[in-house]
Chain A
Amino acid sequence: MKSLVMICAIAALASGCSKSATPTSPTTTVTAPTPILFSGTLQPRTSRFYSYTLTSAGTVTALLASLERNGVPAGNSLELGIGVPAGTGCAVTAVANTSATLQPQLREDYSTGTYCVRISDVDGLPQAMTFTIRVIHP
Chain B
Amino acid sequence: MIAKLIGTILIMAACLGCATTITSPTPTAKPIDVNAFSSQVPPGGSASREFTLVTGGNVGVTLTSTTPADTVLGLGLGIPRSDGSCALSNAVATTAGNSAQLALNADGGLFCVKVYDPGGLTAPVAFTLAISRP
Q: Is the CB of A72 within 8 A of B88?
A: yes
Interface size on B, residues (CB 8 A): 35
Where the two chains meet, the residues of A that have a C-beta atom closer than 8 Å to any C-beta of B are 1-2, 5-6, 8-10, 12-13, 16-17, 20, 35, 37, 39, 61, 63, 65-66, 68, 71-73, 100-104, 130, 132, 134, 136
| Also in contact, A101 and B89, with CB within 8 A (given A16-B18, A66-B78) | yes
| Also in contact, A73 and B7, with CB within 8 A (given A39-B81, A132-B79, A136-B109) | no
Min CB gap B113→A, angstroms: 12
- The yes or no answer to B56 lying at the interface (CB within 8 A) is yes
Q: Is the CB of B89 within 8 A of A39?
A: no
Q: Is the CB of B82 within 8 A of A37?
A: yes
| Also in contact, A102 and B79, with CB within 8 A (given A2-B3, A66-B89) | yes
A13 to B2, CA, bound (A): 18
| Also in contact, A9 and B6, with CB within 8 A (given A39-B87, A61-B107, A65-B87) | yes
A-facing mask of B92-121, CB < 8 A → 1, else 0? 000000000000111101110000100000
Q: Is the CB of B87 within 8 A of A68?
A: yes
User: Which residues of B are found within 8 Å of A2, using beta-carbon distances?
Assistant: 2-3, 6
User: Which residues of B are found within 8 Å of A17, using beta-carbon distances?
Assistant: 14, 17-18
A-facing mask of B3-17, CB < 8 A → 1, else 0? 110110011011101
- The yes or no answer to B72 lying at the interface (CB within 8 A) is no
Query: Can you report 6 residue pairs joining A to B where beta carbons are below 8 Å apart?
Result: A17-B14, A20-B18, A66-B87, A73-B76, A102-B105, A102-B107
User: Which residues of B are found within 8 Å of A16, using beta-carbon distances?
Assistant: 14-15, 18
A-B contact count (CB 8 A): 96
User: Which residues of B are found within 8 Å of A132, using beta-carbon distances?
Assistant: 78-79, 81, 87
Q: Is the CB of B6 within 8 A of A5?
A: yes
- The yes or no answer to B91 lying at the interface (CB within 8 A) is yes
User: Which residues of B are found within 8 Å of A100, using beta-carbon distances?
Assistant: 88-90
Closest to B109 in A: A35
| CB-contacts of B1-57 with A (<8 A) | 2-4, 6-7, 10-11, 13-15, 17-18, 20, 56
